[in-house]
Structure 1
Amino acid sequence: MWIWAISATALCVAISGIFIAYRRQVKKTCRHLAFMKENKTNMRLRVELPFSELNELSDNINELLDSSDNIRMTAERNERNLKDAITNISHDIRTPLTSLDGFFHLLKNSDSEEERVQCTEIIQNRIDNLKYMLEELFTYTKLQNEDYKIQLESIDFNQCVCSAIVGFYNEFQEKGIEVHTDFTEDEIIVNGNAEAVQRIIGNLLKNVLDHGSREVEMTLKTNSDKVIFTCSNKVDNPDSIDISQVFSRFYKSDPARTHSSTGLGLAIAKGLAKRMNGDMNATVQDGWFTIEMRFGK
C-alpha cells in the first residue's frame, strides 16, 4: 500500500515537474517571439528541453521567420530598386525634354535657314528618343500584368528574325560593327507572335549597338524539339556586366554611355519570350556577351 502511494506521489511530482518545465519553455518561447516582433533580429527559437512537439513547433516557427525575413528583405530591395528606377526614368525623360526646350528656343530665334534645319532634325531625334523610352516603359508595365496575353499563331520564326535584322543594317554600318550570321535556310514554324519576335530581336540588337563593339555573331538552329537563337557581341569591359541583373528592369552596365536607353530592353525581350512559352538566358565568356533564346517547336 505504501509502495503504491509513494509511486503515485513520485509520478505526480514527475508529471508536475515536466508540466512546469514545459510551461516555462512555452513562456520563454513567447518572450522570444515578442522580442523578435519588436526588434529586427536574426534570433531564432531554441528549445532547451527534449520535447519533440516543442522542437517541431520551434522548427516550424523558425522556418516561418526565415521566410518572413526573406520576404521583408525582398520587399525592401524592391522598394529601393523602385525608388532608383523612378529617379532614373525621371532623369532619362527630363534630359530630352530639357534639350527640346533649348532647341525650340534656338529654332524660334534663329535667322539662319541652315541652323533652323539642323535644329529641326535634332528636335525630331529627341522626340523619337522620348517616344521610344515611353513605349518601352508602357510595354514593360503591360508585361507585369499576369492577365496580359499575346495572340499566338503559326509563324515563320526564321523570316521574322531576318526581317528584324535587316532593319538594323545601316546602324551597324555606321558604327562599324561587323555582323556574322549562321542561320538555317529551312522554314521554322513555331507557335508565336511575329510582332513580338521582331520586338525581341530589335531590343537585342539595340543592346548590341549601345554596348557592343567591333563584332556581333548571330545563329539560328533547330534540334528535334527546340528552336535556338543566339546573339553574341564583343564587349570592351566584360567585368562591368552583372550577369545576374541583365534581365532586371532599368539595369545598365554603364549608365553614362546610354542616354537614350531605359534599361528595359532586355527585361522586355525576356518577358515577351516567356509570353510565347520561350526562355532566355545570358552569359559572358572571353570578352563575348551572349544571349540565347529558346522556343519549343
Structure 2
Amino acid sequence: MILWTAAVSAALVILIVIFILYRRQVKEICRQLAFLKENPTNMRLTSQLPLSEVNKLIDEVNDLLDRSRELRKESLHSETQLKETITSLSHDIRTPLTSLDGYFQLLQESMSEEERLRYIEIIQTRIESLKDMLEELFTYARLQDHEYRLELGKTDFGQCVYDTVFSFYQDFQKRGIEPEADFCDGRIYVRGNEEALRRGIQNMIKNALVYGYTQISFKLYKTDKYAGFRCSNDTEHPDEIDIRQVFGRFYKADSARTQNSTGLGLSITKELARRMGGTAEASLEKGIFSVDFLIPLVEEKPYNS
C-alpha cells in the first residue's frame, strides 16, 4: 500500500513538472510570436526543452513563418517591378511623343517643300514606331491576364516564318544587311496560333535589327518534338548583353537604350511560346547572339490502309 501511494505521488509530481514545463514553453512561444509580430525579422521560433510534440508544433510554425516571409518578399518585389514598369512606360511613350512634337513644329516653320516632305516622312516613321510600341504593350498586358487563352490549332509554321521574314525586306535594305537563310525542306506543322507565331517571330527579327551589327541569319529546322526558328546576329558590344536577363521585362542592352523600344519583345516571344506549349532560348557564343523559338510539332496520326 505504501509503495503504491509512493508510486502515485511520484507520478503526480512528474505530471506536475511536465505540465509546468509545457506551460513555460507555451508562454515562451507566445513571447517569441509577440516579438515577431512587432519586429518583422528573420528570427525563428526556438525551444529549450526536449518535448517532441512542442518541437513539432514549433517546426510547423517556423514553416509558416518562412512562407509568410517569402510571400512578403515576393510582394515587395512585385511592387518594385510595378513602379519600374510605370516609369519605363512613361519614358518609352513620352520620348517619341516629344520627338513628334518637335518635328511638327519644324514642319510648320519650314518654308522649303523638300524639308516639309522630309519632316513628314520622319513623322510617319515616328508614328509607326509609336504604334508598334503600343501594340507591344497591349500584347504584353493581355499576356499578363492568366485567363487569356490562345486558340491553338494545326498551323503551317514554315509558311509563318517565310511570310514574316520577307515582310522585313525593306528594313534589311535600309540597314544594308543581306540576311543568310537556312530553311529546311517540306511542310512543318505545329499546334499553335498563327497570330502569336507571327508576333513571336517579328519580335525576334526586330531585336536582331536593333542589336545586329553587320550580320543577321535565320534558320528553320525541326527536332523530334519541336519546330524551331533561330534568329542570330553579330553584336558590336557582346559584353553589354546579359544572357540571363534577355527575356526579362523591359530589358535593353546599353547600346539600345536610345532606341524607341519597350524592351518587351523577347519577353513577349517567350511567353507566347509558353502559351503554345513551347519555349524560347537564348545563347551568346563568340559574339553571335541567337534566339530559338520552339513550338511543339503536330502529332501525325499513322495512316491505316
Q: TM-score, normalized by length of structure 1?
A: 0.93
- Structure 1 gap segments, 5+ residues each: none
Query: Where do 1:201-240 residues align within 5 Å?
Result: 201-240=201-240
265-274 vs 283-292, which moves further: 283-292
Number of corresponding residues? 297
Aligned to 2:65: 65
Report the secondary structure of 2:65's partner residue.
helix
1:50/1:272 CA distance change after superposition, 3 Å? same
- 1:114-263 to structure 2, matched below 5 A, reads 114-254=114-254, 257-263=257-263
Q: 1:288, 1:24 → 2: CA distance?
A: 66
2:39 aligned partner? 39
Aligned-partner residue type, residue 17 of structure 2: G
The corresponding residue for 2:300 is: none
Deviation at 1:258, TM superposition (A): 4.2
Distance, in Å, in 1 between the alignment partners of 2:105 and 2:29 is 71
Retained in 2: the 8 A contact 1:210–1:257? Answer: no
Superposed displacement of residue 110, structure 1 = 1.9
Contact 1:203 1:266 (C-alpha < 8 Å) held by counterparts: yes
In structure 1, distance between residues paired with 2:255 and 2:78: 20
User: 1:73-97: CA deviations, max 9, x gaps?
Assistant: 1211121121111111101111111
Q: Partners of 1:134 and 1:157 in 2: how far apart?
A: 26
Amino acid at match of 1:56: K
In 2 relative to 1, CA 22–235 (structure 1 residues): closer, same or farther, beyond 3 Å? Answer: farther
Say if 2:20 is the partner of 1:20: yes
Distance 1:177 1:223 in 2: 29
Q: How far is 1:47 from its partner?
A: 2.0
For residue 2 of structure 1, report the CA deviation from its aligned partner. 2.1
Q: What is the deviation of 1:234?
A: 2.2
Alignment partner, residue 8 of structure 1: 8
Unmatched tracts of structure 2, length 5 or more: 298-305
Aligned AA for 1:23? R
Q: How does 1:80-91 map to 2 (within 5 A)?
A: 80-91=80-91
State the Cα deviation string for residues 158-203 of structure 1 (Å, max 9, x = none): 1111111112233234334452222211100112122221111110
How large is the RMSD of aligned CA atoms in angstroms?
1.8
Q: Secondary structure at the match of 2:45?
A: coil
Distance 1:253 1:30, change over 3 A: farther
TM-score by length of 2: 0.90
